[in-house]
């Protein structure tokens, strides 16, 4: 079956602009996660969605970052007023959500964001 897909694969934007990144999880996966991968910081957790529960936003670095998910489908990560330090690869993952913390997370190919 299809894996996790993300779009766009690459995004170049100017400082101060807003960007939206999209994630399509594996069908039937109730849990969805966003991560950021950058040279200096490695892989960082950003936000987690599980079904209709309130999302875990504990990893979002600032209030310029937000994410939405409609039910158990597509999620969008929005970065407002982008800064150069936002340049990174943004990874999305999904899992069955049956056992939080031990579920296998399946990752998408990522969106490479470059802020000029």
Partner 1 sequence: AQSVTQLDSHVSVSEGTPVLLRCNYSSSYSPSLFWYVQHPNKGLQLLLKYTSAATLVKGINGFEAEFKKSETSFHLTKPSAHMSDAAEYFCVVSFSGYSTLTFGKGTMLLVSP
If the CB atoms of residues 42 and 71 are measured against partner 1, the closer one turns out to be 42
Interacting stretch for partner 1, rule CB under 8 A, among 13-21, 63-71, 80-88, 97-105?
A: 97-105
**Which uninterrupted H or E stretch holds 91?**
strand 88-95
Binding flag, residue 93, partner 1 (CB under 8 A): yes
Interacting stretch for partner 1, rule CB under 8 A, among 11-19, 20-28, 48-56, 68-76?
A: 48-56
Interacting residue with partner 1 among 4, 23, 60, 113 (CB under 8 A): 4
If the CB atoms of residues 48 and 65 are measured against partner 1, the closer one turns out to be 48
Three-class secondary structure assignment of 18-82: CEEEEEECCCCCCEEEEEEEECCCEEEEEEEEECCCCCECCCCCCCCEEEEECCCCCEEEEECCC
* CB-based contacts of 19, cutoff 8 Å, min separation 6: 11, 13, 78, 79, 82, 113
Interaction site with partner 1 (CB under 8 A): 3-4, 31, 33, 35, 42-45, 48, 50, 56, 58-59, 91, 93, 99-102, 104-110
């Amino acid at each position: 079956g299809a894996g996790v897909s993300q779009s766009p694969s690459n995004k170049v934007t100017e400082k101060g602009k807003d960007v939206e990144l999209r994630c399509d999880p594996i069908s039937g996966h109730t849990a969805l996660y966003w991560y950021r991968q950058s040279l200096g910081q490695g892989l960082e957790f950003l936000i987690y969605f599980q079904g209709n529960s309130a999302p875990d936003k504990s990893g979002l670095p600032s209030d310029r970052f937000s994410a939405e998910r409609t039910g158990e489908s597509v999620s969008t990560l929005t970065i407002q007023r982008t800064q150069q330090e936002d340049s990174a690869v943004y990874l999305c993952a999904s899992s069955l959500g049956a056992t939080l913390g031990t579920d296998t997370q399946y990752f998408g190919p990522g969106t490479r964001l470059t802020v000029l």
